[in-house]
Amino acid sequence: MVEQKFTRIMDAVSENPSSFQPKRPALSWGVKIKRKLKSAAPFLGRFRPLVGQCCHQCTPESLGLKLLCNTPPLGFQNLTCVNETHTGYRGWLVRRVCCLLFVWGCEVHPSPAGDRRHRVHGSERVRQTLVPACSPEMMELVMPEVRGHLSRLLALTQTFISPCLLRLVSWMLLKVFSLMFCSVQVNRNQLAALHRATQLKSPLVYVCVRQSGIDHTLICLTLFCHNLRVPYTIYPAHIRQSWLRSILQRLGVILLPEGIESERDAEMDSLYSPVMTSFTGELLREGASLSVGICASGGQGGQWLARVHQAISDGLVPDVSIVPVGISYDCLPRYFTRPQAGVMSALRFAISLLKGDHRGSVRIHFAQAFSLKEMCESGKCRVDGGRPLQDLLLTAILQDRMDSIFSQKDVSWLLPPAVMPELSPAARQQTIALTLHLMYSSTTTMAVMSTSLVSCLLLHKHRKGVRLSVLCRDICWLLEEVLFRNTDVGYGGSLVGLVLHALSLLRPYLLLAAAPPTGEPIIAPRPDPDSLLILSQHCDLLTHVFIHEAVGACAVSAMLSEVIGCGGGGDPEFNVVLGQEELTEKSLQLTHLLSPGFIPPCQTAHGFALDVVDSMVRCGVLVMEEVQKDTPVCDFMKRQGVLSWAVSDNPDQSSDSDCEEPDARSYKLSQPSQCPELLFFLCSLLSVRLRALCWALESLHYLPSPITERDCVSQLHTHLKNRAQLDKAHYESSSIDLARLVLRTFIDLGVLTEDRQRGDVYLDVSPLFSQCAHKAKLLQFFKQFIYN
């Protein structure tokens, strides 16, 4: 009965969340909660943090321009809400066609193709590629086929922006997005900063992390509605319909060549890279803007940043301004999560609109523009000198030696040598560093949505269910913690409205029950794979927000597990003194396992680990402890790798040969009401990834060998799903993205070896980890960071 009442409440909120007013007795629980929580509004919610400032280490001069300064707040604008005030006219007829008048009045910067095709074809880079290294007889046989392929590639250079078609499509998109989303919010201050950035006379390149197929559409529509130059969009989709390709090319969308299925296949083509590099340089020389998406898991899209940088090196443009863009969704559109398009996908999307499936909000943040030339010349943003992950961690895992973990991790796989082979090693390393920095900047610019807060609390703190009033209280706490970390949120309004809006969007993934005797709703996540995977997807951004605390909590958990192991088992003992050096080493080991995007390249892994320890003190999990001389100190021996207890009142009892000096700083777990509960919550944020590593390693012997990368990802994904189904728990650790992350980690650790042959990469289990003893040590290394 209570579930039916709550369903009716959710239906009313989803229809009109802003004007929802309780009128029937079925809504009495909402009124009671609202009365109880009137004074629980977070005090930090009144102030929005200033997000999007450029890096003070890599681009201090761009930061000094103060393009995104603390001007009086201009507020937010709902992009889909267009009325007569946005036009220069008034009247009843204007109110009915105001959207059309507004679109027709927006400024469009023309960008004709002109003779761009001839300039690209005659560029030095393309001409050198066309000279074949073969005999004249072979040249006569090969050149006709090469010319035909080159003609298909040069057809992409005819992409241009048609003003009339752009206005028509923008009007249609405003109508579609008004049905698809409750609102599309943009920050007026950030758009004013973009207008100031255009006065620098440098082309703008917008960079976002790929989440959905409409990311670039939202960026272009926002810029069009605010009289900014609409960028050419790099969209690596394979579209077969010629009419659709023609329309998109007239809107400035740069697609994959005809006949090529994927972005990877295109980059393997020897002609594609020179043509696209010359094409990018010509666009920037014309003053056009670009919109580029970067894949967070594999770094795809970084090669376009190399092409932009190459235009500066070739002298085509003096400088380029980079603008990181963060896009946050209440609910990610399900039909636009892959870079594919077609008639059937558009039809399914239209049906979903009629059903009202997508009524969440969207928040778009434009970070401050910074100089690409300054970042490359500053020397702070660099990744050269990195060592493979197996060199960093295997000695610590197999031999308990920590002398190698303080180096930087090599991430050269983000831009492998097969992609753009003409790049010099220095330019390749510079592009990788730039890609990492933009992945970090775009992610930190994103706003945390209400569905992320609710999903995170239900999945990582109240997995067995929680009363609605307790959930509201925890949302207040989590909201203040997010704002304290200089991360904006993508919502506003009362607490009750916020919770009801989030629950209405997450309703298909939740279970509801009544708590006797009051009948207050109890909410829990549905224990099925699809629901838990969706909730976990909403939690990804909060993992980035709390990454310092999550790494620190897992490091503390690993040290406590060693205390239990040394003491012979039993319940965990929280009244233990932890040394700073050992805590930093544990944090550093886990830091090396993080995927790209969590740490900017201008910060070392060791510096990040030191910040982790400080953050644990700031959030109240650890307190600094002054160790008395007669107090036993828990000393983690570096050379032996075991625990030993020693009393420090008589230093003569221990010698330098078998004992290290205690750390200058020691820490102890605090004992407030939220600790160790807070510690467990933070540990749970990274347990999703760590558990996937453990499951995949346990099922490693099921993999056939040799096996291609694509088949290996499929096999690992199947093993993860089977293991979650066997345990009937933790389905969130069985996603396809985690399978890709596991594969990349295993290759970097040397668990799987690569063999490139016949144009493909084959994987096999290394002889080292075919041994059960080494495999067990690696498994224990992963498990130590998971609090059980």
Q: How many helices and strands (H and E) does the chain possess?
A: 30, 20
User: Mapped to the 3 state alphabet, what secondary structure does 408-430 carry?
Assistant: CECCHHHCCCCCCCCCCHHHHHH
CA distance 599 to 411: 12
pLDDT for res 758: 67
> Could you give the CA distance from residue 451 to residue 361 in angstroms, rounded to a whole number?
10
Q: How confident is the model at residue 627 (pLDDT cuts 50, 70, 90)?
A: low
> Do 549 and 608 touch, CB atoms closer than 8 A?
no
The tens digit of pLDDT for each residue in 713-747 reads 999 999 999 999 998 989 999 999 999 999 999 99
Q: What is the mean pLDDT of residues 10-20?
A: 40
Kindly list the distances between the CA atom of residue 735 and the CA atoms of 120, 533, 668, 740, in Å, as whole numbers in the listed order: 42, 7, 36, 9
* Mean pLDDT comparison of 17-26, 510-519, 692-701, highest-scoring range: 692-701
Arithmetic mean of pLDDT, 623-646 = 50
User: For residues 399 and 30, which has the higher predicted lDDT (pLDDT)?
Assistant: 399
Which residue blocks in 109-268 are alpha helix, DSSP H? 116-121, 124-130, 136-154, 163-180, 188-198, 215-225, 242-249, 263-267
- Give yes or no for a contact between 401 and 88, defined as CB atoms under 8 angstroms apart: no
Residue 344 confidence (pLDDT): 64
pLDDT in tens, 539-550: 999 999 999 999
Q: How confident is the model at residue 368 (pLDDT cuts 50, 70, 90)?
A: very high
In this prediction, residues 560-589 reach a mean pLDDT of 76
| 549 sits in which H/E element | helix 547-567
Pinpoint the alpha helices (H) of 449-523. Answer: 450-460, 468-484, 495-505
pLDDT value for 9: 41
Which DSSP category does 750 fall into? T
Q: Give residue 179's pLDDT.
A: 86
Q: Which of 3-7, 11-15, 111-115, 536-540 has the lowest mean pLDDT?
A: 11-15
Chain CA centroid to CA 611, Å = 21
pLDDT at 734: 94
Name which of 16-25, 217-226, 360-369 the model is least confident about: 16-25
- pLDDT tier for residue 21 given thresholds of 50, 70 and 90: very low
Task: Report pLDDT for 345.
Answer: 62
The pLDDT assigned to 383 comes to: 81
Q: 377-432, pLDDT tens digit by residue?
A: 888 888 877 899 999 999 889 888 877 788 889 998 999 888 898 899 999 999 99
Q: Are 248 and 255 in contact (CB under 8 A)?
A: yes
pLDDT at 516 over 90: no
> Closest by alpha carbon to 494, among 128, 45, 136?
45
- Please list, in sequence order, all residues whose beta carbon lies within 8 angstroms of the beta carbon of residue 273, skipping any fewer than 6 positions away: 267, 303, 419, 420, 421, 422
Mean pLDDT within 223-233:
95
Q: Would you state the pLDDT for residue 737?
A: 93
Over range 197-201, report the average pLDDT.
Answer: 90
How many CA atoms lie within 13 Å of 539's alpha carbon, on the beta-carbon side? 29
Tokens standing for 521?
């709703």
The pLDDT of residue 250: 94
Q: Which domains does the chain have, with CATH numbers?
A: 62-131+142-382 (no CATH), 540-626+664-674 (1.10.10), 686-781 (1.10.10)
Relative orientation angle of helices 495-505 and 450-460, to the nearest 10 degrees: 70
pLDDT band for 355, please (50, 70, 90 cuts). Answer: low
Q: CB atoms < 10 A from the CB of 100, how many?
A: 16
Confidence at residue 16, expressed as pLDDT on a 0 to 100 scale: 41
Angle at 72 between CA 68 and CA 78, to 5 degrees: 80
User: In the predicted model, is pLDDT for residue 341 greater than 70?
Assistant: no
Q: What is the pLDDT of residues 141-197, one digit of tens each?
A: 556 777 788 888 999 999 999 999 999 999 999 998 988 898 999 999 999 999 999
User: Residue 262: its pLDDT value, please?
Assistant: 84
pTM, entire model: 0.87
pLDDT above 70: percentage of residues in the chain:
81
Would you say 380 and 602 are in contact if contact means Cβ atoms under 8 Å apart? yes
pLDDT tens across 665-716, in order? 888 887 655 567 888 999 999 999 999 999 999 998 888 888 999 999 999 9
The mean pLDDT value of the chain amounts to: 82
Lowest mean pLDDT among 13-27, 140-154, 306-320, 577-591: 13-27
Mutual angle of helices 272-285 and 136-154, in 10-degree steps: 50
pLDDT of 258 over the 90 cut:
no
Sorting pLDDT into bands at 50, 70 and 90, what band is 638? very low
- In whole angstroms, how far apart are CA 478 and each of 75, 449, 473, 538, 620? 23, 12, 9, 15, 14
The confidence score (pLDDT) of residue 674 equals 54
Phi-psi region at 316: left, alpha or beta (left = phi > 0; alpha = psi -120 to 50):
alpha
Does residue 572 carry a pLDDT above 60? no
310 or 139, higher pLDDT: 310
pLDDT at 75: 83
Distances (CA, A) of 657 to 633, 639, 648, 653, 660: 18, 10, 16, 12, 8
pLDDT tens for residues 119-139?
A: 999 888 888 887 764 445 555
pLDDT at 93 over 80: no
pLDDT of 657:
38
Cα pseudo-dihedral 471, 475, 481, 485, rounded to 10? 140
Instruction: Say which DSSP state 568 is in.
Output: T
- For residues 667 and 625, the answer to whether their CB atoms sit within 8 Å is yes
Beta-carbon count within 10 A of 519 CB: 13
Task: Return the structure tokens found at 171.
Answer: 């009007």
